Every structure is written in structure tokens, then in C-alpha cells.
Structure 1
Amino acid sequence: MTLLKIEDVMRMLPSGWRVEGQYLIRDLEFRSFMDCIAFVNELAQLAEQEEHHPDMVIVWKHLTLRLTTHDEGGITELDLEMANKINQLIDKWGDRIEAK
């Protein structure tokens, strides 16, 4: 994988994601703590399947996701592809997520 220029990242940035330094970041707020945990479990299965694992920080029912390609030291197409797959999972969860 090759590092992407910030202009290319911003042009292809999936909905709901932002760039901070070398990371794509998305914050989610769930209706309950257990919804958050169930989502993380489903996301873990997707991450294993894709062999690309986001950093995840859980604070009660709030989840912060961070994507980067550590081997390359920044954002690559792999991160954008995974962000799009995570967005599909978010859409599937629908109203169990309060803020997208």
C-alpha cells in the first residue's frame, strides 16, 4: 500500500469520518452500552475478515474508531475501504445509533 496525499484522502473521505494527523476517525453514540458492545463485537468480526483492525475506544455508550495503516505510517486506500465497510455496518444498525 502507498500513503495517500491529504488532498486525495479528503476527496475520497467517507461520510461521517474526519482526518486527524495520520488517522481517519469516526465517533458514534449508541442508545445503550450493550448496543455499543454488540456493535464492537460485530465490527471485530468484520475487522478479522478484512485483516484490518481499527483502534477502538469505548466510553460508556460512545465509541471512537481510528483507522491508519501502521506499516505505511499513515492513511492508505486500505483505510478508506475499511471506513466504507464500517459505514455499511453503521447503516445496518440504523436507529440503535443515535448520532452518525
Structure 2
Amino acid sequence: MTKLAEQACEACSSDAPKVTADEQQALLAQLPEWSLIEREGEQQLQRVYKLKTFAEAQAFTNQVGDLAESENHHPAILLEYGKVTVRWWTHKIGGLHRNDFIMASRTEELFQQR
């Protein structure tokens, strides 16, 4: 089975299917530090990363931003002193798509490579 981070994101239209509850649980099992949250009626993936300094947090934020831009899939990112909160969801469908789990996995890899 291909690692989640190595899978390709697919172009997503407004009628793309959201992942089912069973799919969510199976995919989330591969992302132990991530949690499912609901904001404004939409399910999202969220993880808070702890870093030592603002500069480290800013550098990581920039890496996540570059990743997002490369896939044209953009998260919400909150940068704070020593902390970065990342939330992935698919705006077009108002919830979670497989792409969000792929991007969360790639975000994990970026953090591990620092």
C-alpha cells in the first residue's frame, strides 16, 4: 500500500464526494497527531505543531505554504510564538476529501524533516 504522503492529490470540483465516516477513521489512523474538528459546520483536520522559537515556527509555516501552493490546495495556518496550527479541508465541498489527508500527511513529513 502506498504511503498516504506519496499519493497524488486529484483535482476537486464542487460535486466531489466527501470521505465517508469509515474512510475518515481509516485515514485518520495514519495521522495519529491529527484530529477531526468541526468549524462553521465543516469537518476539518487539525494539528498543532510545537516549535522552539517564532523563527522556527515561521520557517515551518512558509514550508507548509509552499507545499499548499505547489498543490493549489490551501489550509488555514495560524502562526504563533513556538506554535503553528494547521487545518486542512476542501473549501469547494465544505468538508473533507482524501486530498486533505494526503496534504496532512505531507505536512507531517515536512515537520519530521526539519
**CA RMSD for the aligned pairs?**
1.0
- Comparing both chains, which one has the higher relative contact order based on Cα–Cα distances under 8 Å and sequence gaps of 6 or more? 1
Report how far residue 7 of structure 1 moved: 2.3
Aligned pair partner of 2:66 in 45, 49, 53: 45
Relative to the length of structure 2, the TM-score reads 0.77
Counterpart amino acid of residue 2 in structure 1? P
Report how far residue 88 of structure 1 moved: 0.8
Structure 2 residue aligned with 1:64: 85
Aligned pair partner of 1:73 in 68, 80, 94: 94
C-alpha distance in 2, partners of 1:9/1:60? 31
Counterpart amino acid of residue 35 in structure 2? R
More deviation, 7-16/28-37:
7-16
C-alpha distance in 1, partners of 2:80/2:65? 17
Q: 1:19 and 2:36 equivalent?
A: yes
More helix by share: 1
Counterpart amino acid of residue 25 in structure 1? Q
| CA shift digits 1:15-51 (9 cap, x unpaired) | 3110012100000110111000011111111111011
Q: Does the residue aligned with 2:94 lie in a helix, a strand or coil?
A: coil
Conservation of the 8 A alpha-carbon contact between 2:75 and 2:87: yes
Name stretches of at least 5 consecutive residues in structure 1 with no aligned partner. Answer: 94-100
Following superposition, which runs of at least 4 residues in structure 1 exceed 6 angstroms of deviation? none
Q: 1:5 and 2:20 equivalent?
A: yes
Report how far residue 59 of structure 1 moved: 2.1
